[in-house]
Structure 1
Amino acid sequence: MRSFRQVDVFSAEPLLGNPVAVVHDADGLDDEEMAAFARWTNLSETTFLLTPTDPGADYRLRIWTPTGELPFAGHPTLGSAHAWLEAGGVAAGDPADEGVVQECGAGLVRVRRGEGGRLAFAAPPLVRSGPVDDADLTRICRALRIDRGDVVDAAWVDNGPGWVAVLLRDAAAVLAVRPDDAAFDGLDIGVVGLWEPGESDADVEVRAFVPEMGIGEDPVTGSLNAGVAQWLAGSRLPSSYVAAQGTAMRRRGRVHVTTADDGTIWVGGDTRTTISGTLDL
């Protein structure tokens, strides 16, 4: 029997964030067992906490969607860190830092307690960035069922999962998107639009479409928000801001982005355990 937690991420309110299934003490499970359990939970991500192989890490994390494994993902990182700490995990580093180090497919990721006690991860480096060419932009517009003229800007913001993002004229345009899931052709697309001051408690509305991962739209997405922050923070967005996500799915995710003095972008949010128990795999 192994301990299990399901953690809601990016919302302080029950059932309004993005849940992640976390399996503790997962050493000994093979790839097929992990993949089968991820398919069974049918959440956007299921994670497995293992003994680290890097001496600089506090734990190792493997992240699975219903269709395969990811090298990195944001809400599973925060939810898994929450579960590890709640289960009594103690970081090996400086206690004053109040942080942990996660080992995953993308390397070592720092997680710390930020403003208001929220967990936040340091945005990993982008593996692909820069402008989107005309052919890919045509594919993106087809998948989103929007016109090229609706796109204010576009960029690759990929930190592992494959993200490409488009900026639309405003948040209302983001909420109006009705994608064609059959037309994504392997793309993982983020859509971003700014709120006018006073319209929302957030600065920007974000949506994430990943139909080929078997989940359609992701409720709240840390990795996408990290990539968007590396693209837009300090230019079209403030260096520190709040992103709303999940509105179109009747969720209320809030992603808190902070740019530190050293330029590190921290992506944080509230975390809370909604289910805990044991499982037999």
Structure 2
Amino acid sequence: MPRRFVTLDVFTTQALAGNPLAVVLEADGLDDGAMQAIAREFNLSETVFVMPPDEPRHRARLRIFTPTRELPFAGHPTIGTAILLALREARPEGADAVAFGLEEAVGTIPCVVETGDGGGRARFRLPILPDYLGEAADAAALAAAFGLAPDDIGFGRHRPSRHGVGPSFTFVPVASPDRLDAARPGTLAGTSDGFLLYAPDTAETGLAFQARMFAPALGVAEDPATGSAAAAFAGVLMQFEPLGDGTHDVAITQGVAMGRPSAIALQVVVEAGGLRSVEIGGAAVIVSEGVLHV
């Protein structure tokens, strides 16, 4: 049966930048194999399949696939799908934002969306907090995997670490943006779903970082923007940054080396010295619409 799909560019306000996303609407009746095959056909970092929610008070249930496997949660699919669904639903006259829940395997994700002409901006709060996943590989092994020198790894208090929010990530601090640009895609077998290399963004004030994501295990050589890694990065900040109680806004720029610059807004709330909540925000624009005949 014909099924509508929409593609968006996420974590950007400009088409042909950010991270591309395919959203398949009316996905009822597709089995796991069909969804995986469609995601492989689109060959984007992720493809979302929209289904009726289990709880009627929520907006939709989402299933998210990379070209090689299903994910329990991902950030840019959540942002992009929230904006698309908000663009397509009626809202009370005068309302400048809409709020709803999206069901994903990790739980229900509350979203707030502001829309404009062909796009919008969304933010969501994670229903889970990042998990610490143990020690990372040593700096020399990580440097070799990504074409860097051992002394390129680390800055300030930051050392390699592992955290996750569903997908698991190894976070690799790199001494400077120049050395981050010099990294080449790579991996270490059997360690994490993906590797986020990050450096302090010396061109910005406040907590700001530049990042690159390599995820061959997910069928993604390099990802322009990775919301789930940005969410797990909250665990990195709690481990290595002297964050006091309060709300902390963090800017993450990704995808520059790929020619697809992406802007991810991370907000971390700390109470009584512990991580209380994590929010991810960003923009998206519609790029194309069509019909799948499968």
Q: The TM-score by the shorter chain falls in which range?
A: 0.7 to 0.9
Q: How far off is 1:114 after superposition?
A: 7.1
Correspondence for 1:155 among 146, 154, 161:
161
> Aligned partners of 1:124 and 1:63: how far apart in 2?
17
Structure-1 residue corresponding to 2:223:
218
Q: Tell me if structure 1 keeps the 8 A contact 2:253–2:263.
A: yes
SS in 2 for 1:216: strand
Q: How far off is 1:141 after superposition?
A: 3.3
SS in 2 for 1:251: coil
Q: How far off is 1:125 after superposition?
A: 2.6
Superposition pairs of residues 100-249 of structure 1, within 5 angstroms: 100-113=100-113, 118-126=121-129, 128-129=131-132, 131-133=134-136, 135=137, 139-152=141-154, 153-181=159-187, 183-185=188-190, 187=192, 188-197=194-203, 203-232=208-237, 235=241, 239-249=248-258
Q: Tell me if structure 1 keeps the 8 A contact 2:72–2:106.
A: yes
Give the structure-2-normalised TM-score. Answer: 0.82
Correspondence for 2:283 among 267, 270, 279:
270
> Aligned partners of 1:28 and 1:115: how far apart in 2?
30
- For 1:274, the aligned partner's letter is V
> Aligned partners of 2:53 and 2:42: how far apart in 1?
25
Q: How far off is 1:277 after superposition?
A: 2.5
Q: How far off is 1:201 after superposition?
A: 11
Structure-2 residue corresponding to 1:71:
72
> Aligned partners of 1:98 and 1:151: how far apart in 2?
43
SS in 2 for 1:164: strand
Q: Which has the higher helix share?
A: 1
> Aligned partners of 1:80 and 1:241: how far apart in 2?
23
Q: Tell me if structure 1 keeps the 8 A contact 2:209–2:252.
A: yes
- For 1:111, the aligned partner's letter is C
SS in 2 for 1:179: coil
> Aligned partners of 2:219 and 2:140: how far apart in 1?
23
> Aligned partners of 2:141 and 2:56: how far apart in 1?
43
> Aligned partners of 1:115 and 1:165: how far apart in 2?
33
> Aligned partners of 1:36 and 1:89: how far apart in 2?
33
> Aligned partners of 2:198 and 2:162: how far apart in 1?
13
SS in 2 for 1:175: helix
SS in 1 for 2:236: helix
Structure-1 residue corresponding to 2:63:
62
Q: How far off is 1:161 after superposition?
A: 1.4
Give the structure-1-normalised TM-score. Answer: 0.86
User: Structure 1's 214 and 89: CA in aligned 2 closer, same or farther, altered over 3 A?
Assistant: farther
Q: How far off is 1:179 after superposition?
A: 3.2
Q: How far off is 1:222 after superposition?
A: 0.6
Correspondence for 2:264 among 242, 247, 255:
255
Query: Percent identity at matched positions?
Result: 32
SS in 1 for 2:81: helix
Q: How far off is 1:106 after superposition?
A: 1.2
User: Structure 1's 114 and 89: CA in aligned 2 closer, same or farther, altered over 3 A?
Assistant: closer
Q: How far off is 1:124 after superposition?
A: 4.4
SS in 2 for 1:227: helix
Query: Aligned-pair RMSD on alpha carbons?
Result: 3.0
SS in 1 for 2:220: coil
- For 2:131, the aligned partner's letter is R
- Bigger mean CA deviation after superposition, 230-239 or 123-132: 230-239
User: Structure 1's 104 and 122: CA in aligned 2 closer, same or farther, altered over 3 A?
Assistant: same
Per-residue Cα deviation, 1:30-60 (whole angstroms, up to 9, x for no partner): 1111011001001010010001124553210
Superposition pairs of residues 73-88 of structure 1, within 5 angstroms: 73-88=74-89
Unaligned runs of 5+ in 1: none
> Aligned partners of 2:212 and 2:218: how far apart in 1?
15
Per-residue Cα deviation, 1:245-273 (whole angstroms, up to 9, x for no partner): 00110111011223458743221111111
